[in-house]
Chain A
Amino acid sequence: MKVSNDINANLVTYSLGSCIGMVIYDPVVHVGGIFHFMLPESKLDAEKARKNPFMFADSGTPRFFKTAYELGAKKQRMRVIVVGGAQVLDQKGFFNIGKRNHMAVRQIFWKNKVMVDYEDVGGNVNRTIRLAIKDGQTRLKVSGREEITI
Protein backbone atom coordinates (compact mmCIF):
# COMPACT_ATOMS: atom_id res chain seq x y z
CA MET A 1 0.00 0.00 0.00
CA LYS A 2 1.39 3.39 -0.98
CA VAL A 3 -0.26 6.78 -0.63
CA SER A 4 1.53 9.97 -1.59
CA ASN A 5 1.16 13.71 -2.13
CA ASP A 6 4.62 14.07 -3.69
CA ILE A 7 3.99 15.36 -7.20
CA ASN A 8 7.16 13.67 -8.43
CA ALA A 9 6.02 10.26 -7.26
CA ASN A 10 4.96 7.53 -9.69
CA LEU A 11 3.35 4.57 -8.00
CA VAL A 12 3.11 1.14 -9.53
CA THR A 13 1.89 -2.30 -8.66
CA TYR A 14 3.12 -5.04 -10.94
CA SER A 15 1.51 -8.24 -12.07
CA LEU A 16 -1.82 -8.60 -10.32
CA GLY A 17 -3.16 -12.12 -10.70
CA SER A 18 -6.21 -12.91 -8.59
CA CYS A 19 -5.19 -10.03 -6.32
CA ILE A 20 -6.98 -6.70 -6.62
CA GLY A 21 -5.29 -3.35 -7.21
CA MET A 22 -7.20 -0.29 -6.06
CA VAL A 23 -6.22 3.21 -7.19
CA ILE A 24 -7.54 6.41 -5.60
CA TYR A 25 -6.74 9.98 -6.57
CA ASP A 26 -7.96 13.39 -5.43
CA PRO A 27 -7.05 15.93 -8.14
CA VAL A 28 -7.57 18.98 -5.92
CA VAL A 29 -4.90 18.12 -3.36
CA HIS A 30 -2.88 15.78 -5.63
CA VAL A 31 -3.13 12.92 -3.20
CA GLY A 32 -3.30 9.40 -4.53
CA GLY A 33 -2.42 5.84 -3.79
CA ILE A 34 -2.37 2.23 -4.86
CA PHE A 35 -3.43 -0.62 -2.61
CA HIS A 36 -2.88 -4.22 -3.63
CA PHE A 37 -4.49 -6.98 -1.58
CA MET A 38 -4.42 -10.72 -2.01
CA LEU A 39 -7.42 -12.24 -0.23
CA PRO A 40 -10.94 -11.16 0.79
CA GLU A 41 -11.21 -11.81 4.52
CA SER A 42 -8.78 -11.27 7.38
CA LYS A 43 -10.52 -13.83 9.58
CA LEU A 44 -8.47 -16.44 7.71
CA ASP A 45 -5.43 -15.52 9.83
CA ALA A 46 -6.08 -12.84 12.45
CA GLU A 47 -2.49 -12.82 13.67
CA LYS A 48 -0.99 -12.17 10.25
CA ALA A 49 -3.74 -9.66 9.45
CA ARG A 50 -2.79 -7.73 12.60
CA LYS A 51 0.83 -7.55 11.43
CA ASN A 52 -0.04 -6.89 7.80
CA PRO A 53 -3.63 -5.69 7.38
CA PHE A 54 -2.98 -4.85 3.72
CA MET A 55 -2.99 -8.48 2.74
CA PHE A 56 -6.80 -8.59 2.99
CA ALA A 57 -9.64 -6.54 1.51
CA ASP A 58 -11.58 -6.04 4.74
CA SER A 59 -8.66 -5.01 6.95
CA GLY A 60 -6.71 -3.06 4.33
CA THR A 61 -9.30 -0.99 2.45
CA PRO A 62 -10.40 1.27 5.36
CA ARG A 63 -6.78 1.94 6.32
CA PHE A 64 -5.91 2.75 2.72
CA PHE A 65 -8.66 5.36 2.46
CA LYS A 66 -7.85 6.79 5.91
CA THR A 67 -4.22 7.30 4.92
CA ALA A 68 -5.36 9.35 1.92
CA TYR A 69 -7.83 11.34 4.07
CA GLU A 70 -5.01 12.19 6.46
CA LEU A 71 -3.19 13.84 3.55
CA GLY A 72 -6.27 15.94 2.74
CA ALA A 73 -8.07 13.78 0.19
CA LYS A 74 -11.88 13.83 0.22
CA LYS A 75 -14.04 10.87 -0.74
CA GLN A 76 -16.43 12.90 -2.92
CA ARG A 77 -13.54 14.22 -5.06
CA MET A 78 -11.72 10.95 -5.47
CA ARG A 79 -11.38 9.00 -8.64
CA VAL A 80 -11.55 5.29 -7.78
CA ILE A 81 -10.24 2.51 -10.02
CA VAL A 82 -10.37 -1.24 -9.40
CA VAL A 83 -8.38 -3.77 -11.44
CA GLY A 84 -7.25 -7.40 -11.09
CA GLY A 85 -9.24 -10.29 -9.65
CA ALA A 86 -8.32 -12.65 -12.48
CA GLN A 87 -8.82 -16.40 -12.37
CA VAL A 88 -7.17 -19.52 -13.67
CA LEU A 89 -9.24 -21.25 -16.40
CA ASP A 90 -12.11 -23.35 -14.99
CA GLN A 91 -11.61 -21.95 -11.49
CA LYS A 92 -15.05 -21.87 -9.93
CA GLY A 93 -16.78 -21.46 -6.57
CA PHE A 94 -14.65 -21.12 -3.44
CA PHE A 95 -11.44 -21.50 -5.37
CA ASN A 96 -12.23 -18.52 -7.54
CA ILE A 97 -10.38 -16.15 -5.26
CA GLY A 98 -10.21 -13.44 -7.94
CA LYS A 99 -13.99 -13.23 -8.04
CA ARG A 100 -14.30 -13.38 -4.27
CA ASN A 101 -11.80 -10.53 -3.96
CA HIS A 102 -13.90 -8.47 -6.34
CA MET A 103 -17.10 -9.26 -4.41
CA ALA A 104 -15.38 -8.19 -1.19
CA VAL A 105 -14.47 -4.80 -2.69
CA ARG A 106 -18.00 -4.23 -3.99
CA GLN A 107 -19.42 -5.01 -0.58
CA ILE A 108 -17.03 -2.68 1.27
CA PHE A 109 -17.62 0.13 -1.25
CA TRP A 110 -21.39 -0.32 -1.12
CA LYS A 111 -21.39 -0.09 2.69
CA ASN A 112 -19.18 3.00 2.62
CA LYS A 113 -20.86 4.65 -0.37
CA VAL A 114 -17.75 4.69 -2.54
CA MET A 115 -18.42 4.99 -6.27
CA VAL A 116 -16.09 3.24 -8.70
CA ASP A 117 -15.09 5.27 -11.78
CA TYR A 118 -13.34 2.54 -13.72
CA GLU A 119 -13.12 -1.19 -13.34
CA ASP A 120 -11.23 -3.87 -15.25
CA VAL A 121 -11.53 -7.17 -13.42
CA GLY A 122 -11.67 -10.91 -14.04
CA GLY A 123 -10.56 -12.89 -17.06
CA ASN A 124 -7.40 -14.99 -17.23
CA VAL A 125 -5.00 -12.09 -17.58
CA ASN A 126 -2.58 -10.37 -15.27
CA ARG A 127 -2.44 -6.61 -14.88
CA THR A 128 0.02 -3.90 -13.96
CA ILE A 129 -1.22 -0.46 -12.92
CA ARG A 130 0.61 2.86 -12.54
CA LEU A 131 -0.39 6.20 -11.06
CA ALA A 132 1.34 9.57 -11.50
CA ILE A 133 0.66 11.75 -8.44
CA LYS A 134 1.28 14.96 -10.41
CA ASP A 135 -1.88 14.70 -12.50
CA GLY A 136 -3.50 11.41 -11.56
CA GLN A 137 -2.74 9.83 -14.91
CA THR A 138 -3.37 6.11 -14.52
CA ARG A 139 -2.04 3.54 -16.95
CA LEU A 140 -3.11 -0.08 -17.15
CA LYS A 141 -1.17 -2.87 -18.81
CA VAL A 142 -3.09 -6.09 -19.32
CA SER A 143 -1.08 -9.16 -20.36
CA GLY A 144 -1.19 -9.74 -24.10
CA ARG A 145 -2.42 -6.19 -24.82
CA GLU A 146 -0.93 -2.71 -25.22
CA GLU A 147 -0.81 -0.40 -22.21
CA ILE A 148 -3.72 2.05 -22.02
CA THR A 149 -4.36 5.30 -20.15
CA ILE A 150 -7.56 5.24 -18.14
Chain B
Amino acid sequence: MNDIDAIIKKADKLRPIPQVANKVMLIVQDPDSSIKDLSEVILYDQAVTANLLKICNSAYFGLRREIDSLHQAIVFLGMDQVADLVLLASAAGNFKIQQKGYDLRENDLWRYSVSSALIARDLAEMKGLKNNHFIFTAALLKDIGKVVMSQYVSDSFDKIIMLVSKDGLSFREAEKEVTGLDHAELGGLIAKKWKFSDNMVNIIRNHHLSEKPADSDIETSIVYLADIICMMMGIGVGSDGLAYRFYPDVLDSLGFSETDFQQIMVNFSVKFQKVEDMINKV
Protein backbone atom coordinates (compact mmCIF):
# COMPACT_ATOMS: atom_id res chain seq x y z
CA MET B 1 0.00 0.00 0.00
CA ASN B 2 1.51 3.35 -0.93
CA ASP B 3 1.28 6.50 1.17
CA ILE B 4 -1.75 7.88 -0.61
CA ASP B 5 -3.69 4.64 -0.20
CA ALA B 6 -2.75 4.53 3.47
CA ILE B 7 -4.01 8.08 4.00
CA ILE B 8 -7.27 7.35 2.22
CA LYS B 9 -7.71 4.17 4.24
CA LYS B 10 -7.24 6.17 7.43
CA ALA B 11 -10.21 8.33 6.45
CA ASP B 12 -12.46 5.31 7.09
CA LYS B 13 -11.80 5.80 10.79
CA LEU B 14 -13.51 9.20 10.88
CA ARG B 15 -16.82 9.34 12.68
CA PRO B 16 -19.33 9.26 9.87
CA ILE B 17 -21.51 12.34 9.54
CA PRO B 18 -24.89 11.36 11.04
CA GLN B 19 -27.49 10.44 8.47
CA VAL B 20 -29.67 13.23 9.73
CA ALA B 21 -27.23 15.77 8.24
CA ASN B 22 -27.57 14.31 4.75
CA LYS B 23 -31.36 14.23 5.08
CA VAL B 24 -31.49 17.82 6.29
CA MET B 25 -29.35 18.90 3.35
CA LEU B 26 -31.85 17.29 0.97
CA ILE B 27 -34.85 18.82 2.73
CA VAL B 28 -33.51 22.37 2.67
CA GLN B 29 -32.70 22.08 -1.01
CA ASP B 30 -36.28 21.00 -1.76
CA PRO B 31 -38.57 24.02 -2.21
CA ASP B 32 -41.65 21.94 -1.33
CA SER B 33 -40.39 20.83 2.08
CA SER B 34 -42.13 21.90 5.28
CA ILE B 35 -41.33 22.44 8.95
CA LYS B 36 -42.96 19.09 9.64
CA ASP B 37 -40.57 17.31 7.24
CA LEU B 38 -37.60 18.93 8.92
CA SER B 39 -38.65 18.22 12.50
CA GLU B 40 -39.50 14.60 11.73
CA VAL B 41 -36.04 13.98 10.36
CA ILE B 42 -34.25 15.69 13.23
CA LEU B 43 -36.28 14.20 16.09
CA TYR B 44 -35.14 10.78 15.01
CA ASP B 45 -31.60 11.61 16.12
CA GLN B 46 -31.62 12.34 19.84
CA ALA B 47 -27.94 13.19 20.16
CA VAL B 48 -28.18 15.78 17.42
CA THR B 49 -31.42 17.19 18.89
CA ALA B 50 -29.77 17.55 22.32
CA ASN B 51 -26.78 19.35 20.79
CA LEU B 52 -29.08 21.53 18.74
CA LEU B 53 -30.98 22.70 21.84
CA LYS B 54 -27.69 23.57 23.57
CA ILE B 55 -26.69 25.73 20.62
CA CYS B 56 -30.11 27.43 20.53
CA ASN B 57 -29.71 28.36 24.20
CA SER B 58 -26.22 29.83 23.75
CA ALA B 59 -25.55 33.54 24.04
CA TYR B 60 -25.19 33.67 20.25
CA PHE B 61 -28.95 33.86 19.86
CA GLY B 62 -29.63 35.75 23.11
CA LEU B 63 -33.17 34.37 23.41
CA ARG B 64 -35.03 35.48 26.53
CA ARG B 65 -36.55 32.12 27.22
CA GLU B 66 -35.10 28.66 27.28
CA ILE B 67 -35.73 26.53 24.23
CA ASP B 68 -36.51 22.99 25.35
CA SER B 69 -38.04 21.39 22.31
CA LEU B 70 -37.27 21.10 18.64
CA HIS B 71 -40.66 22.61 17.81
CA GLN B 72 -39.85 25.72 19.86
CA ALA B 73 -36.44 25.97 18.22
CA ILE B 74 -38.04 26.05 14.78
CA VAL B 75 -40.69 28.56 15.89
CA PHE B 76 -38.17 30.96 17.46
CA LEU B 77 -35.26 30.63 15.05
CA GLY B 78 -36.97 29.59 11.85
CA MET B 79 -36.50 26.55 9.67
CA ASP B 80 -33.50 27.95 7.81
CA GLN B 81 -31.50 28.67 10.91
CA VAL B 82 -32.38 25.34 12.54
CA ALA B 83 -31.27 23.45 9.43
CA ASP B 84 -27.82 25.08 9.66
CA LEU B 85 -27.64 24.28 13.36
CA VAL B 86 -28.42 20.62 12.76
CA LEU B 87 -25.46 20.44 10.41
CA LEU B 88 -23.35 22.18 13.01
CA ALA B 89 -24.47 19.78 15.74
CA SER B 90 -23.77 16.81 13.43
CA ALA B 91 -20.27 17.86 12.44
CA ALA B 92 -18.87 18.74 15.87
CA GLY B 93 -17.52 15.27 16.75
CA ASN B 94 -14.74 15.17 14.16
CA PHE B 95 -13.70 18.79 14.38
CA LYS B 96 -13.43 19.43 18.12
CA ILE B 97 -10.48 17.17 18.77
CA GLN B 98 -6.89 18.37 18.92
CA GLN B 99 -4.99 18.16 15.59
CA LYS B 100 -1.34 17.87 16.55
CA GLY B 101 0.07 17.94 13.01
CA TYR B 102 -1.39 21.40 12.50
CA ASP B 103 -0.63 22.45 16.09
CA LEU B 104 -4.33 22.96 16.73
CA ARG B 105 -5.55 22.65 20.31
CA GLU B 106 -8.87 21.08 21.18
CA ASN B 107 -11.68 23.18 19.68
CA ASP B 108 -9.38 25.22 17.39
CA LEU B 109 -10.39 23.53 14.15
CA TRP B 110 -13.99 23.63 15.28
CA ARG B 111 -13.72 27.38 15.97
CA TYR B 112 -12.19 27.85 12.51
CA SER B 113 -14.86 25.76 10.78
CA VAL B 114 -17.86 27.33 12.52
CA SER B 115 -16.49 30.83 11.97
CA SER B 116 -15.83 30.14 8.27
CA ALA B 117 -19.36 28.80 7.92
CA LEU B 118 -20.94 31.85 9.55
CA ILE B 119 -18.82 34.26 7.49
CA ALA B 120 -19.63 32.32 4.31
CA ARG B 121 -23.33 32.55 5.12
CA ASP B 122 -23.00 36.33 5.67
CA LEU B 123 -21.22 36.66 2.31
CA ALA B 124 -23.88 34.56 0.57
CA GLU B 125 -26.58 36.78 2.08
CA MET B 126 -24.74 39.90 0.93
CA LYS B 127 -24.74 38.48 -2.60
CA GLY B 128 -28.45 37.63 -2.31
CA LEU B 129 -27.85 33.94 -2.95
CA LYS B 130 -30.60 31.46 -2.21
CA ASN B 131 -28.52 28.40 -1.42
CA ASN B 132 -27.10 29.71 1.86
CA HIS B 133 -27.39 26.34 3.61
CA PHE B 134 -25.33 24.71 0.99
CA ILE B 135 -22.58 27.32 1.27
CA PHE B 136 -22.74 27.23 5.08
CA THR B 137 -22.30 23.45 5.05
CA ALA B 138 -19.48 23.48 2.52
CA ALA B 139 -17.58 26.07 4.57
CA LEU B 140 -18.22 24.13 7.78
CA LEU B 141 -16.89 20.84 6.40
CA LYS B 142 -14.19 22.06 4.02
CA ASP B 143 -11.30 21.14 6.33
CA ILE B 144 -12.43 17.61 7.15
CA GLY B 145 -9.30 16.44 5.31
CA LYS B 146 -7.13 18.06 7.98
CA VAL B 147 -8.53 15.68 10.61
CA VAL B 148 -6.96 12.78 8.72
CA MET B 149 -3.92 14.59 7.32
CA SER B 150 -2.87 15.81 10.77
CA GLN B 151 -0.86 12.68 11.54
CA TYR B 152 0.92 12.73 8.17
CA VAL B 153 1.68 16.43 8.47
CA SER B 154 3.07 15.75 11.92
CA ASP B 155 5.38 13.00 10.59
CA SER B 156 6.73 15.22 7.78
CA PHE B 157 6.37 18.65 9.34
CA ASP B 158 10.01 19.70 8.96
CA LYS B 159 10.00 18.89 5.25
CA ILE B 160 6.67 20.66 4.68
CA ILE B 161 7.62 23.82 6.55
CA MET B 162 10.97 23.94 4.73
CA LEU B 163 9.17 23.96 1.37
CA VAL B 164 6.92 26.74 2.64
CA SER B 165 9.60 28.94 4.18
CA LYS B 166 12.45 28.35 1.71
CA ASP B 167 10.77 27.53 -1.59
CA GLY B 168 7.69 29.75 -1.27
CA LEU B 169 5.16 26.94 -1.64
CA SER B 170 1.79 27.28 0.01
CA PHE B 171 1.18 24.87 2.89
CA ARG B 172 -1.28 22.95 0.73
CA GLU B 173 1.21 22.66 -2.14
CA ALA B 174 3.88 21.48 0.30
CA GLU B 175 1.54 18.86 1.79
CA LYS B 176 0.92 17.54 -1.69
CA GLU B 177 4.61 17.58 -2.59
CA VAL B 178 5.61 15.64 0.52
CA THR B 179 2.70 13.23 1.09
CA GLY B 180 1.27 12.99 -2.44
CA LEU B 181 -2.07 14.37 -1.29
CA ASP B 182 -3.26 17.61 0.29
CA HIS B 183 -5.97 18.16 2.90
CA ALA B 184 -8.38 19.74 0.40
CA GLU B 185 -8.09 16.84 -2.06
CA LEU B 186 -8.46 14.39 0.78
CA GLY B 187 -11.49 16.31 2.05
CA GLY B 188 -13.06 15.90 -1.39
CA LEU B 189 -12.49 12.14 -1.26
CA ILE B 190 -14.05 11.94 2.21
CA ALA B 191 -17.05 14.02 1.07
CA LYS B 192 -17.52 11.63 -1.83
CA LYS B 193 -17.35 8.67 0.51
CA TRP B 194 -20.00 10.31 2.66
CA LYS B 195 -22.18 10.59 -0.47
CA PHE B 196 -22.29 14.39 -0.53
CA SER B 197 -23.46 16.00 -3.77
CA ASP B 198 -20.90 16.43 -6.57
CA ASN B 199 -21.10 20.18 -6.13
CA MET B 200 -20.26 19.90 -2.41
CA VAL B 201 -17.39 17.51 -3.16
CA ASN B 202 -15.98 20.00 -5.68
CA ILE B 203 -16.12 22.94 -3.30
CA ILE B 204 -14.40 21.02 -0.51
CA ARG B 205 -11.70 19.80 -2.91
CA ASN B 206 -11.14 23.26 -4.38
CA HIS B 207 -11.62 25.48 -1.33
CA HIS B 208 -8.08 26.86 -1.69
CA LEU B 209 -8.77 27.46 -5.39
CA SER B 210 -6.04 25.06 -6.37
CA GLU B 211 -7.88 24.39 -9.63
CA LYS B 212 -8.64 27.20 -12.08
CA PRO B 213 -9.04 30.09 -9.65
CA ALA B 214 -10.09 32.55 -12.34
CA ASP B 215 -13.34 30.87 -13.31
CA SER B 216 -14.41 29.39 -10.03
CA ASP B 217 -18.11 29.35 -9.39
CA ILE B 218 -19.62 31.78 -6.91
CA GLU B 219 -20.14 29.19 -4.15
CA THR B 220 -16.51 28.07 -4.19
CA SER B 221 -15.35 31.70 -4.29
CA ILE B 222 -17.41 32.52 -1.20
CA VAL B 223 -16.13 29.52 0.75
CA TYR B 224 -12.58 30.42 -0.28
CA LEU B 225 -12.99 34.03 0.80
CA ALA B 226 -14.52 33.07 4.17
CA ASP B 227 -11.47 30.85 4.74
CA ILE B 228 -9.06 33.70 3.94
CA ILE B 229 -10.90 36.06 6.29
CA CYS B 230 -10.71 33.54 9.16
CA MET B 231 -7.00 33.08 8.54
CA MET B 232 -6.39 36.82 8.59
CA MET B 233 -8.41 37.19 11.78
CA GLY B 234 -6.36 34.38 13.31
CA ILE B 235 -9.44 32.40 14.31
CA GLY B 236 -8.30 28.87 15.18
CA VAL B 237 -5.22 29.07 12.94
CA GLY B 238 -2.49 26.46 13.38
CA SER B 239 1.04 25.71 12.22
CA ASP B 240 0.04 26.22 8.59
CA GLY B 241 -0.47 29.87 9.49
CA LEU B 242 -1.49 32.11 6.60
CA ALA B 243 0.58 30.19 4.05
CA TYR B 244 -2.18 29.87 1.46
CA ARG B 245 -2.56 31.78 -1.78
CA PHE B 246 -4.55 34.97 -2.10
CA TYR B 247 -6.37 35.71 -5.35
CA PRO B 248 -7.61 39.32 -5.41
CA ASP B 249 -9.60 38.58 -8.60
CA VAL B 250 -12.03 36.61 -6.46
CA LEU B 251 -13.08 39.80 -4.67
CA ASP B 252 -13.58 41.51 -8.01
CA SER B 253 -15.63 38.65 -9.37
CA LEU B 254 -17.80 38.66 -6.24
CA GLY B 255 -18.11 42.44 -6.44
CA PHE B 256 -16.56 43.09 -3.02
CA SER B 257 -14.34 46.12 -2.58
CA GLU B 258 -11.41 46.37 -0.22
CA THR B 259 -13.64 48.35 2.17
CA ASP B 260 -16.30 45.61 2.06
CA PHE B 261 -13.56 43.13 2.88
CA GLN B 262 -12.60 45.04 6.04
CA GLN B 263 -16.23 45.63 6.97
CA ILE B 264 -16.92 41.89 6.86
CA MET B 265 -14.07 41.41 9.35
CA VAL B 266 -15.46 44.11 11.64
CA ASN B 267 -18.98 42.71 11.56
CA PHE B 268 -17.82 39.22 12.40
CA SER B 269 -15.49 40.45 15.12
CA VAL B 270 -18.38 42.21 16.87
CA LYS B 271 -20.30 38.96 17.26
CA PHE B 272 -17.30 36.74 17.90
CA GLN B 273 -17.78 36.49 21.69
CA LYS B 274 -21.24 35.10 21.09
CA VAL B 275 -19.93 32.73 18.44
CA GLU B 276 -17.38 31.51 20.97
CA ASP B 277 -20.17 30.76 23.42
CA MET B 278 -21.97 28.71 20.79
CA ILE B 279 -18.76 26.87 19.89
CA ASN B 280 -18.24 25.87 23.50
CA LYS B 281 -21.82 24.67 23.97
CA VAL B 282 -21.51 21.69 21.63
Contacts and interface: CB of A to CB of B under 8 A. Distances in A.
Interface of A: 14-19, 38-39, 44-45, 48, 51-52, 55, 86-95, 97-98, 123-126, 143-144
B241 A95 contact: no
Interface residues of B, number: 36
Interface in B155-174: 157, 161, 164-165, 168, 170
B170 A16 contact: no
Interface in B260-277: 261-263, 265-266, 269-270
Contact of B236 (A15, A16, A90): A15
Interface stretch (B46-54, B177-185, B226-234): B226-234
A142 to B, nearest CB: 8
A129 to B, nearest CB: 12
Contacts of A14: 234
B233 A19 contact: yes
Nearest to B238: A143
Count chain A CB atoms within 10 A of each CB in B157, B234, B247 and give the residue with the most. Answer: B234
A91 B228 CA distance: 11
Contacts of A95: 246, 248, 251, 258, 261
Contacts of B244: 88-89
B103 interface: yes
B266 A55 contact: yes
B161 A39 contact: no
Interface string B117-156: 0000000000000000000000000000000000000000
A95 B249 CA distance: 11
A125 B263 CA distance: 23
Given A18-B232, A98-B232, A143-B239, A124 B164 contact: yes
Describe A's contact surface by its main secondary structure.
loop
Contact of B237 (A17, A39, A55): A17
A16 B157 CA distance: 21
Nearest to A44: B262
B240 interface: yes
A56 to B, nearest CB: 9
30 contacts: A14-B234, A17-B233, A17-B235, A17-B241, A17-B242, A18-B232, A38-B233, A38-B265, A39-B265, A45-B263, A45-B266, A86-B241, A89-B170, A89-B242, A89-B246, A90-B247, A91-B246, A92-B248, A93-B248, A94-B258, A95-B246, A95-B251, A95-B261, A123-B241, A125-B243, A126-B237, A126-B238, A143-B238, A143-B241, A144-B164
